């Protein structure tokens, strides 16, 4: 994509969100809605700046939970997906187990996890992990299964060992799907950490949202929600950045 096209796309995106913000601002003011019910964006941005210290401190807590939960989800999800793909026994036993676990509402598990692991980092890390884990497995499985058949035949003709075929063919073929799964899993990890903080925590953006809404401080609630949203966007595009190095995606 050329530079002018990129600039034009950015201008369109910026104009769209600016339009939404102005519609919200003037809609609230003209309708006479009380600020404690729905504050205008100007008040929320002012609160975001005024409370930047506490919001930044709580954001770092939540970011730590999200980062380690996501890392553990990748570290466990990828080898488990490979095991399921190559082992018929694992496909018939382990895979249905994870599908069943995925069907359990994570919000329902959150109170139990807090009871088992306490109010500290561990319970929120586990919640982030649980939300991110299944998309990693599914995307990795899909990537491994999408290996082109003609390339498999080519590797067999070259008498490549199974390990050579795995590392030099299946892993590169699975990378695009794996990164797509990471893009899905990363915002889910943020949601998982915040849900864990809702249920039981003394720190984090979830706790800040709960405290602010409980005290009727609506502008701070929205400011914390914006911080959560910005964190999700930054983490999402941080993962998406690595797609540029997978030059064979289009092929």
The CA distance from 58 to 224, in Å, is: 9
pLDDT at site 250 = 54
What's the pLDDT tens digit per position in 89-101?
A: 988 888 888 888 8
Pull the structure tokens for residue 30: 């003209």
Distance linking the first and last C-alpha atoms of the chain:
17
pLDDT in tens, 37-91: 788 888 888 888 988 899 999 999 999 999 999 999 999 999 999 999 888 898 8
Residue 4 pLDDT: 56
d(CA 81, CA 238) in angstroms, rounded, equals 23
Residue 2 has pLDDT above 60, yes or no: no
* pLDDT tens track for 184-227: 999 999 999 999 988 888 888 998 998 988 888 888 999 999 99
What is the rounded (10 degree) CA torsion for 144, 148, 150, 152? Answer: -10
Q: Can you tell me the distance from the alpha carbon of 141 to that of 28, in angstroms, rounded to the nearest whole number?
A: 47
Band of residue 251 on the pLDDT scale cut at 50, 70, 90: very low
How many C-beta atoms lie closer than 10 Å to residue 138's C-beta?
A: 20
Q: What is the pLDDT of residue 167?
A: 81
């Amino acid at each position: 994509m050329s530079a002018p096209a990129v600039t034009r796309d950015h201008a369109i995106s910026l104009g769209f969100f600016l339009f939404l913000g102005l519609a919200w601002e003037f809609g609230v003011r003209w309708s006479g809605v009380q600020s404690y019910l729905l504050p205008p964006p100007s008040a929320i941005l002012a609160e975001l700046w005024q409370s930047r210290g506490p919001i930044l401190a709580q954001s770092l807590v939540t970011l730590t939970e999200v980062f380690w939960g996501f890392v553990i989800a990748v570290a466990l999800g990828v080898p488990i997906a490979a095991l399921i793909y190559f082992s018929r026994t694992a496909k018939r036993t382990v895979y249905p187990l994870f599908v069943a676990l995925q069907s359990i509402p994570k919000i329902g598990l959150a109170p139990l996890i807090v009871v088992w692991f306490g109010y500290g980092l561990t319970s929120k890390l586990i919640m982030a992990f649980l939300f991110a884990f299944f998309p990693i497995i599914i995307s990795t499985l899909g990537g491994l299964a999408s290996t082109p058949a003609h390339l498999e035949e080519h590797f067999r003709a070259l008498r490549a060992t199974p390990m050579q075929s795995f590392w030099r063919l299946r892993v590169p073929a699975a990378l695009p799907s794996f990164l797509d799964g990471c893009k899905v899993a990363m915002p889910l990890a943020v949601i998982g950490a915040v849900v864990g903080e809702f249920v039981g925590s003394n720190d984090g953006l979830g706790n800040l949202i709960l405290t602010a809404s409980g005290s009727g401080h609506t502008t701070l609630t929205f400011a914390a929600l914006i911080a959560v949203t910005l964190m999700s966007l930054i983490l999402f595009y941080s993962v998406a950045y690595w797609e540029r190095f997978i030059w064979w995606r289009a092929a």
